[in-house]
A = this chain, B = another copy of it.
Amino acid sequence: MQKTNLVHDGDGWETVGSEMHFQTPHLSVATDEVRTPTSPEPRKWSVVHRKPAVVIAPLTAEGRFVLIREERIPIRAAIWAMPAGQIDESLEPDEDAVREVARRELREETGYELEPGAELVPLGHFFSSPGMTDEHCYLFLARPVRKSAAGAAHDATEAIVDCREFAADVVRQMIAKGEIRDSNTLSTWARLVATGEIFP
């Protein structure tokens, strides 16, 4: 599995071995043997490799966030979350390609699109579980968005059962009550609040 630009050797990190155990189109599992800045003796670690992803916080001109409700098989539950999707390239794509995936996932999962002249505001990236996986997500605020004429176009493998607008303060309450409980939405919210993009 090729390393992305974001996760790679250098600065005292050196991969001296990797034994692949299991591989599907969606993920792979290997035992990596790695020298670290503080450990010249290589350490062995189980690593799940997964494609990077994008998360989009779609905000309407009226200050309402667009969330989807999706059935998630690994947790046996349907949860409200911000739209998101994987980046199909095996190597880390450039910023334009990441933005194009964000626009596509926004359109396909919610049926919304950026208003003419609107921009995707980058909010950095995060790692979903850095003790287990190299999976990371690029975060964007999409503001303002509006319903597109074409509507949503759900992937056959997805099970999006609802899509609604929520006032920012309602999203805040859903987070406080634990009704929003996925790392994508919570991490994006932390960035939105910390940067002053919402509730400045």
Contact = CB atoms under 8 A, between A and B. Distances in A.
A129 to B, nearest CB: 4
A43 to B, nearest CB: 6
B129 A38 contact: no
A133 B191 CA distance: 23
Interface residues of A, number: 66
Interface stretch (A67-75, A95-103, A113-121, A140-148): A67-75
- Classify the interface of chain A: helix, strand, loop or mixed: mixed
Interface string A2-39: 00000111100101000001101011010010101111
A89 B187 CA distance: 27
A133 B72 CA distance: 10
B178 A186 contact: no
A161 interface: yes
Given A127-B181, A181-B126, A13 B76 contact: yes
B29 A183 contact: no
A129 B128 contact: yes
Nearest to A135: B129
B36 A131 contact: no
A9 B9 CA distance: 41
A159 interface: yes
Interface of A: 7-10, 13, 15, 21-22, 24, 26-27, 29, 32, 34, 36-39, 43, 45-48, 50, 71-79, 124-136, 159, 161, 172-173, 175-178, 181-183, 186-187, 189-191, 193-196
